[in-house]
Structure 1
Amino acid sequence: MATQRTTTKPPKNLAPAPVPVEPVPCQPCGGTGNVAITVRVGRKRRPVGQQDGLCLNCLGEGIAPAA
């Protein structure tokens, strides 16, 4: 008959569950996805106002892209 095992295995060190990381807002648009673009008119291209444009850094998502 086989000998009976009397010792127990040590518990495995399990890594703690990863903490969910909150997304960082995009720097140029501040997390809105839009940036102000100056509108220029006339022959001398004088600025007359601003309009909203798509943020080219995050492509309108508002979340900073992963490096």
Structure 2
Amino acid sequence: MATQRTTTKTLKNPAPVPVEPTQCQPCGGSGNVAITVRVGRKRRPVGQQDGLCLNCLGSGTDPDA
């Protein structure tokens, strides 16, 4: 029968500390941006509605970081 090892090896490369992702600039980290709603023949603005941020696709994190 083989002898059992009683000591443990030390890690050569410890796990890196996770870095917090930065917020997306256009939406401010919310994932939604305000889109102006236009109506009529002259396309006058009447209000705003929430839309999906096309920079981060709704995740709220900066895709370039």
TM-score normalized by structure 2? 0.73
Structure 1, unaligned stretches of length 5 or more? 1-13
Percent of matched pairs sharing the same residue: 83
TM-score normalized by structure 1? 0.71
One of 34, 37, 40 as aligned partner of 2:35: 37
Runs of 4+ in 1 over 2 A off after TM superposition: 14-19
Give the secondary-structure state (helix, strand or coil) at the position aligned to 2:35. strand
Structure 2: distance between partners of 1:15 and 1:48: 58
Count of aligned positions? 54
> Could you tell me how far 1:18 is from its partner in structure 2?
2.7
Show the 5 A alignment for 1:1-67. 17-66=15-64
Structure 2, unaligned stretches of length 5 or more? 1-11
